[in-house]
Amino acid sequence: MSLPADHEQRLQRARHSLEGLAIGDALGEMLAYNCAAARERVGLGLMAGPWFHTDDTEMALSIYEVLQRFGHIDVDAVATAFAERFRRDPDRGYGAMARGILRQILAGKDWRIASANAFSGSGSMGNGGAMRAAPLGAYFADEPDEVIIEQAAKSAEVTHMHREGKAGAIAIALAAAMAWRMRGLPVEHAAKEMLRAVNERTPQGETSVGLARAGNLPFTTPPQTAGRLLGNGSGVTAPDTVPFCVWSAAKHLGDFREAMIATVTADGDCDTNCAIVGGIVALYTGIEAIPSEWREAREAFDFEVA
């Protein structure tokens, strides 16, 4: 097996996205209670670290580790990595359906069967495939969009076999790739181009319909209103989560701190929303734009611990 010649550069991009994702995940989890007061709470100063991260980061870490080993998504390796992380630390806020699938994998069932059987055989259309997709988009950012689409769909199907579950992962991976490609360009141009490109390339369905609405929603719209119009993740599905997250990432593409605060104030699935937005925005701003005290408070990734 040969890795891409620029493998280390790809991993560095993925790490940047992973950093933003993990910080967003932890912030969203902390601020979800009384999220309307998020701005005031951040202004007063947040708790000391380490900030606990949820299953969003745990599954993104598995994606990162598989890319590190293979240079592409090996679906069997992803399934094993997901299940092993769940076995080691099951109390990270995994949803009921994900827990059921991962337990079946640990018991020896083929992930293809476990994933396909979810929701009476329709497969999951949840937002779990999207929440972990930004580092993948970063890794493949210099590849054609067709490669990103294929790899994102593979990464999702281990737990989200429904076409909307895969569409959500595709949209977020594309948004992350676009954020990296357009760094250095004026933020107004980059934001509009991101929305246009993601909407154009996401497979047709409920998620893409929501993305089309997001593309027509003015950036002057308050985040609470945008969440009501586009969905804020309260339904925990890709169509109910991804359009708002792409819109919020685009609106705040040049300001990581504001992206987190505004995204939280929309309420809903706050940790997942902020994980998605953080994984995208960090690629445009660079991790240096993340407040240093937030980076220092982030819970260490297991491969960083000696």
Pick the closest to residue 276 from 235, 231, 243 (CA basis).
Answer: 243
Q: Look up residue 288 and give its DSSP letter.
A: G
Q: Can you give the length of the chain in residues?
A: 306
Q: Distance of alpha carbon 217 from its chain centroid, rounded?
A: 21
- Alpha-carbon gap, residue 212 to 232, rounded angstroms: 16
pTM of the model: 0.97
**Quick one: how far is CA 81 from the chain centroid?**
17
Whether the CB-CB separation of 101 and 112 falls below 8 Å is answered with: no
**pLDDT by 10s per residue, the chain, length 306:** 689 999 999 999 999 999 999 999 999 999 998 888 999 999 988 888 899 999 999 999 999 999 999 999 999 999 999 999 999 999 999 999 999 999 999 999 999 999 999 999 999 999 999 999 999 999 999 999 999 999 999 999 999 999 999 999 999 999 999 999 999 999 999 999 999 999 999 999 999 999 999 999 999 999 999 999 999 999 999 999 999 999 999 999 999 999 999 999 999 999 999 999 999 999 999 999 999 999 999 999 988 875
Distance CA 143, CA 280 (A): 17
